[in-house]
Each structure stands twice: as C-alpha cells, then as structure tokens.
Structure 1
Amino acid sequence: MGTAEIETVLEDGAQASLGEDEKRTVAKFVDKIVEAGIDGVGPLESARNIAEQHRLQHADVEVAIDRLIATHTRLVAATGFATGLGGVFALPVTIPTDAAVLYTLSARCVAAVAHLRGYDIESDEVRSVVLLTLLGAGGAAVAAEAGVQLGSKAALAALQRVPGRVLIEINKKVGFRLFTKFGTKGVVNLGKMVPLVGGGVGAGINAAAMRSAGKYSKRNFPKA
C-alpha cells in the first residue's frame, strides 16, 4: 500500500470516528487557516501585501516568486516564531501551534504565488486550490476525484462548474488529511477543548514542507 493510499485509509478512519461537532471543528479550522493565510490576521500580513512587497524588490515575477518561497521557508524554520503567534491561532483544537502556523504561512505563500501569477485570490475556486496545494501530490488526487486536473489552466474553470456543496466537501477532505499528517495515530484528538500548544515539529521538517508547498504552488497556478 502506497503513502497516498495509507493517508486515505487514515482519513476515512478519522472521519468515521468523529462526531458532528468535531467535524464542524475541523471545517472551522480549515476555514481559519485559509482566511488567516490569505487575508492576514494580527501581525501576519496578507498574501497580497507580501506578494507586492516581493514584486517591488524584483522586477522579474518568477524571481520574486522564488524569493517569496525562500522567505517563507526561513520563517517556518525559525524557532520561536510559532510561540510568538500562538495567541493568534488559539482555536479549540488540540493540534500543535507549530502545525497551525506552518499551514497558515504555507497558505499565504501559495496564495501569494497565485497573486503574482495573476490569479484572483478572493475567488472560492482559487482558495480551494490553495488548500489543495498544501497536500502536495495528495491534493491532485483529491481534485481528480471531483474531475479536476490540477496544474492546468483549465483547472479553475473546471472548479467553477463544480457544485458549491462538492467544493465544500473537497475542502473538508483536505482538512482531514492535513489533520492526519500531524496526528500520532492517524487523527488528532479533537474532543478536548484546549488552546493550541507548542508542537516543535522541527525546523527541517517545516522547511521541507514549505518548499513542497512552494513547488506545488508554481505547478498548480501555471503562468497565464
């Protein structure tokens, strides 16, 4: 059984073991990740602002994109960053703060790449692709289930034809897979209403995850 198949099994098990309240908590967490990453929150600048800052520094958009990814890679690798933003992401979910910050910064990085390549990051379809991108290769598999081929210019047009309820289900599925990546037994404990706590996933792991998000952002949001 391959990694993608194992993750699917874990995800199915996770959903089956959760009650309706816990499922809503997962959906809320995913919404917060995308909202905070794209629109900004507290001291965290929006994807649009950070993208424009890099555009001003580099005339070549592709150079700006590479520098943007490098900047975010350094951020998630920096120790103490998660602790500094812990209060911002204090949602009632027992997932490490480090993971929440990693996903939020990854979403911002991906959305900023999309903005620099001319995509409307306010649209629901683009935001769904941002979320799918956080899964790397797994995101393409989830999109394929809905008949959407990520990495093509037609992907967003295809998503626009997907019924809203299906788009919501896609986002939920991505959310569960993000959770299983950090769950020690395939699913994190969503039942305890406690604030997020320091996770210490590790600078190297965080940096690798961000580089992957950057790589797939360029693939999933091709040049216009």
Structure 2
Amino acid sequence: MAGVARFVASSLAPAAQRFTPQAAAGVLRRVLEIAIDGYQRFPGAEQVADRHLAKNGGDAQLAIDAVVDQHIRLAGVQGFVTSIGGLVTLPIALPANLTGLAIVQARMVASIAHLRGYDLGDPRVRTAVITCMLGEDGVTDRLKKSSLVTSPLAIATAPVFDPELDRQVSGEVVAELLARISGKRMALAVTRRVPLLGGAVGAGVDGWSTYRIGEFADKSLVRRIPRPIER
C-alpha cells in the first residue's frame, strides 16, 4: 500500500492537468466498460444485479440493498485494487487506487440502474451512472454553480443523448475522484505513524464514499420506462 500511496501522490498533479473534457470522457468510458461488461474474474453489473435479484426472490429493492452492501465491503478492503482480476494493470490514466474504486462504484451504480429497469447499453443511462458517482452533495453543489445542468434521472430519461453533457459530466467526475484521493492521502499522512490506523482510515473513507453514492443512486434512479433515443 505504501507504494500505491507514493504513486498516487506523484500522479495527482500531472493527472489533473492531463484531463481535458475529452480525455476525462475517454477514461470514464473505459471505467464504465469494465464496470458494466466485467473484466476477467470481475463480473459485470448485470451479472451482479441478476445474482442478487435471484438470491432475494425477485425483490428489486432487497437486491439493491445487497448490491450496495457488497460494494461497500469491497471498497473498504485494503489492497482490493490488486485482488480483482488485475485491474491495477489496466491501461487507464488514473492512479491505481482511484481506478479500482471508480470501477467498483460505477459497477454498483450500474447494477442499481439495471435493477430499476434501465438499459445499460443506452448512452444516456451511462452518463447518468457516472453522474451518480458525484454523490448527492457533489450533484447539488454543481447544480447550484451551474457546472451541472440537471439530475441523473433527467439525464437517463432525456429525449436524446447529449455528447457535450457527457463530456462535461466526465470532467466533473474525474475532478471529484482526484479530489477524493487527495483528501484521503492527506488523512493517511496524518495517521501513518500509528500502526493499523492508516489502513482503518483508508478503508473507512472508501467504504463511506461508496455507501453515500449507493444511497444517492438508489434514491435518484427510480423505476420508469426509458424512452428510445431519437435519431
């Protein structure tokens, strides 16, 4: 973990400079591909959602609760980045811990969307998934500042897919993820002299952020029939 922390520290500044809206959109598209389709031993969102739905007798809300619980535990496990099918080696231009956490949280939100009846192949839904990764506070703050124009639900059910909005949201999400990693690194620096405390803080930060995102996605992505894309 010390090596990962050093890598994160050295990568934050150049990463922040590197992510134009187009580059951020490319990174988030790759994250979503892995989260939705799976990678090696890391099953995709639909597979995870359907498994929990079967275990809970077809009750979508119980399945969503189980999905969120599973991903909180996964996010909170120290070293999970290197334990889920080699995600740390993926060619995604983000620090290793950030890549793993983003994929885990994106899969959680995508699983919730699938359980609520949304088509994960729909680009509007994929934009809504990454918007949910900002969390309720992040979305509310950006709506007030007009750096985000609408809610995840409105994005998922819009009449047409908006590529410019997708790029804008991607830039906001990447900036938010980098800020979270920076804040986590600062917290770990404070606790590094206390045995085991740093690991507990790191697990707690990742688990708590995942819980808040899952809670927001559960509340935001209500069940409704999506409209077809107008071409």
Q: Which residue identity does 2:34 align to in structure 1?
A: A
What pairs up with 1:89-104 in 2 under 5 angstroms?
Answer: 89-90=88-89, 91=91, 93=93, 95=95, 97-104=96-103
Q: Does 1:118 align with 2:117?
A: yes
Q: How many Å separate the matches in 2 of 1:55 and 1:44?
A: 18
Report if aligned partners of 1:65, 1:113 keep a CA contact under 8 Å in 2: yes
Alpha-carbon distance between aligned partners in 1 of 2:94 and 2:107, rounded to the nearest angstrom: 22
Compute the displacement of 1:155 (Å).
4.2
- The structure with higher relative contact order (CA 8 Å, sep 6+) is 1
Change (3 A) 1:147 1:78: closer
- Is residue 132–residue 140 contact of structure 1 (8 Å, CA) maintained in 2? no
Does residue 173 (structure 1) correspond to residue 172 (structure 2)? The answer is yes
Judged with a 3 Å threshold, the aligned counterparts in structure 2 of structure 1 residues 68 and 209 are, in CA distance, closer, same or farther, namely same
- Structure 1 residue 145, shift from structure 2 partner: 4.2
Matched, 1:84 2:83: yes
Determine the C-alpha separation between the residues in 1 that align with 2:80 and 2:97: 8
The equivalent of 1:35 in structure 2 is 33
Amino acid of the structure 2 residue aligned with 1:63: L
Quick one: which of 139, 142, 151 aligns to 1:149?
Answer: 151
Structure 1 vs Structure 2: percent identity of aligned residues? 26
In structure 2, which of residues 11, 36, 44 is the aligned counterpart of residue 46 of structure 1?
A: 44
Which residue does the alignment assign to 1:4?
none
CA displacement at 1:217 relative to structure 2: 1.0
Q: TM-score, normalised by structure 2?
A: 0.71
Secondary structure of 2:180's partner?
helix
Q: Does the Cα contact within 8 Å between 1:51 and 1:112 map onto a contact in 2?
A: yes
Q: How many residues align?
A: 192
**SS across alignment from 1:66:** helix
CA distances 1:52-103 after superposition (whole Å, capped 9, x unpaired): 00010002211111011111111112233222248434336461x2222111
**Are the counterparts in 2 of residues 110 and 133 from structure 1 also a CA contact under 8 Å?**
yes
Residue 207 of structure 1 is matched in structure 2 by: 207
**C-alpha distance in 2 between matches for 1:222 and 1:87:** 33
- Give distance in 1, aligned partners of 2:24 and 2:178: 8
Report if aligned partners of 1:106, 1:213 keep a CA contact under 8 Å in 2. Answer: yes
Write the distance in 2 (CA, Å) between the matches of 1:79 and 1:174.
23
- RMSD of the TM alignment (CA)? 3.0
Are residues 126 and 88 of structure 1, via their aligned partners in 2, closer, same or farther at CA, if it must alter by over 3 Å?
Answer: same
Q: CA deviation at 1:161?
A: 4.0
Residue ranges of structure 2 left out of the alignment (5+ in a row): 1-12, 186-197, 225-231
Paired position in structure 1 for 2:162: 163
Q: Deviations over 1:175-220 (max 9, x none)?
A: 2222222236x9xxxxxxxxxxxx9671111110110111011122
Cα distance change of structure 1 residues 41 and 112 upon mapping to structure 2, 3 Å threshold: same
- Return the TM-score normalized by structure 1: 0.73
* Residue of structure 2 equivalent to 1:127: 126
Instruction: Please list the CA deviations of residues 16-61 of structure 1 after superposition, one character each: whole Å capped at 9, or x if unmatched.
Output: x725xx5355443222222111111121101000000001000221
| Amino acid aligned to 1:73 | I
CA distance in 1 between partners of 2:54 and 2:48 (Å): 10
Partner of 2:195: none
